[in-house]
């Protein structure tokens, strides 16, 4: 039997979502193939053997029973393969991947470079631009001091501005509405939709709580769609799913707390448009040197039907409502088989 470590939790804002994803994976793993070692990392970075009953039907993202692992390296080194079900910083950004590379332990998902680039919205935009993928107009700023920000232009020239002045500068080069995003954050945490200068300033102050690098994009009016990819060299794409959010955009609350938000699989698009998006998803995945799995998110503009890439998620959610497993299930790949294929890709 394969000794499989499933690591989840982590020191990010997505700790609870990661727990729910892992619980779903643990329930669906083939117990005849895998000897399972669930490992929980708390928000302070302590590692534990996870002792909860993950076979229960519902889960609220809390850990009740655990036992601290005193020698993490020795514990990990006895395992054959690791499935890091970690979303966000310190898990999806190349850190855990680098740790496992040093230990020479095979692991599920993208390697160090793809993980770090995929997590950083600014640098994934730069890669996508080089790959010729269409994107919404954007600018990138950095917090410098409590009262100053750095504006970075397309040639990476830097200029310092006050909050008031940098908001005015952005408003001159981009149209409202805009989306203000921390460069390194997941599950839409810290993101604001802004429609005027005052909201833009408030959005920047919100985003800087999560990262000093801040991305400001022009809003695209249209359908929000997602495509799942699977593989190492021979990459396949699922069909395309559509987000029907109750909020103005697919916020954290809309994703995980609002039962009125829905998904539509396949998306309300022509077969030709779905095929175009599937090809673009594979192209984006290969552009960042992706391996294993990812979910690629797009907008389809209303009226023009033009496709814009939004972002790539190198360790997408695996909860019961998550798009990644649902997209592959819709094309005949059941959850348990999907997990086997993902783990097999890691072994290869």
Residue 7 has pLDDT above 70, yes or no: yes
In a domain, 232, yes or no: yes
Quick one: 124 and 142 in the same domain? Answer: no
Domain count, the chain: 3
Strands across the sheet containing 222-231: 262-264, 236-244, 222-231, 292-301, 307-313
For residue 280, the model assigns a pLDDT of: 98
Residue 58 above 60 pLDDT?
no
User: What is the rounded distance in angstroms from the CA atom of residue 17 to the CA atom of residue 8?
Assistant: 9
Q: Are 83 and 97 in contact (CB under 8 A)?
A: no
- Domain with residue 150: its CATH number is 3.30.1490.20
Give the integer Cα–Cα distance in Å for 314 and 321.
Answer: 18
pLDDT of residue 247: 58
The region of weakest confidence among 48-57, 156-165, 261-270 is 48-57
* Per-residue model confidence as pLDDT tens digits over 165-220: 999 999 999 999 999 999 887 557 789 999 999 999 999 999 999 999 999 999 99
Can you spell out the DSSP letters for 298-320? EEEETTT--EEEEEEESS---ST
CB count within 10 Å of CB 270 equals 10
Look up residue 63 and give its DSSP letter: -
Determine how β-strand 213-218 pairs with β-strand 192-194: unpaired
Same domain, 123 and 58: no
Q: Tell me what pLDDT residue 158 has.
A: 96
State whether residue 143 is helix, strand or coil. strand
> Is 113 inside a domain boundary?
no
- Percent of the chain exceeding pLDDT 90 equals 82
In this predicted model, which residue has the larger pLDDT, 189 or 249? 189
Model confidence at 255: pLDDT above 70:
no
Whole-number Å distance between alpha carbons of 233 and 173: 40
CATH number of the domain residue 51 falls in: 3.40.50.20
In the predicted structure, residue 245 carries a pLDDT above the cut 80: no
pLDDT at 153 over 80: yes
* Tens-digit pLDDT profile for residues 316-334: 999 878 999 999 999 999 9
Note whether 242 and 325 are same-domain residues: yes
What average pLDDT does this structure show over 147-173? 95
Identify whether residues 250 and 201 lie together within a single domain.
no
Residue 213's contacts (CB-CB under 8 Å, 6 or more residues apart) are 120, 122, 140, 141, 142, 182, 183, 184
Answer with the one of 188, 218, 248 that is the final residue of a domain.
218
pLDDT at 63: 85
Nearest Cα to Cα of residue 171 among 144, 195, 147:
195
Tokens 């400001």 belong to residue: 216
Strands 138-143 and 213-218: antiparallel
pLDDT at 251: 46
Q: Are residues 182 and 271 in the same domain?
A: no
Which structural domain range is residue 230 located in? 119-133+221-347
Q: Considering the domain boundaries, does residue 114 fall inside one?
A: no
């Amino acid at each position: 039997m394969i000794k499989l470590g499933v690591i989840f939790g982590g020191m990010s804002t997505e700790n609870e979502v990661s727990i729910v994803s892992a619980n779903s994976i643990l329930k669906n793993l083939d117990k005849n193939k895998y000897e399972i070692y669930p490992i929980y990392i708390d928000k302070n970075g302590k590692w534990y053997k996870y002792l909860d009953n993950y076979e229960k039907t519902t889960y609220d993202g809390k850990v009740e029973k655990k036992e601290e692992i005193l020698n993490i390296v020795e514990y990990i080194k006895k395992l054959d393969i690791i499935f890091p079900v970690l979303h966000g910083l310190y898990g999806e950004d190349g850190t855990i991947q680098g740790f496992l590379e040093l230990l020479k332990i095979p692991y599920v998902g993208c390697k160090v470079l793809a993980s770090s680039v995929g997590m950083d919205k600014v640098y994934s935009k730069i890669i996508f631009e080089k790959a010729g993928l269409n994107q919404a107009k954007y600018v990138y700023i950095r917090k410098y001091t409590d009262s100053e920000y750095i504006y970075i232009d397309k040639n990476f020239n830097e200029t310092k501005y006050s909050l008031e002045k940098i908001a005015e500068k952005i408003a001159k080069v981009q149209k409202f509405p805009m989306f203000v995003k921390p460069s390194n954050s997941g599950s839409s945490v810290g993101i604001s939709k802004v429609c005027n200068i005052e909201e833009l300033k408030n959005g920047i102050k919100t985003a800087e709580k999560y990262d000093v690098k801040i991305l400001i994009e022009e809003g695209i009016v249209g359908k929000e769609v997602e495509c799942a990819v699977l593989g190492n060299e021979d990459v396949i794409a699922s069909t395309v799913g559509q987000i029907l959010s109750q909020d103005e955009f697919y916020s954290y609350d809309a994703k995980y707390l609002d039962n009125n938000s829905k998904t539509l699989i396949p998306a309300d698009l022509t077969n030709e448009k779905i095929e175009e998006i599937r090809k673009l998803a594979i192209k984006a995945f290969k552009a960042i040197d992706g391996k294993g799995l990812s979910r690629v998110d797009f907008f389809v503009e209303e009226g023009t039907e033009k496709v814009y890439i939004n972002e790539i998620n190198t360790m997408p959610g695996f909860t019961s409502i998550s798009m990644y497993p649902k997209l592959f299930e819709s094309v005949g790949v059941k959850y348990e088989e999907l997990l086997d294929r993902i783990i097999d890709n890691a072994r290869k």
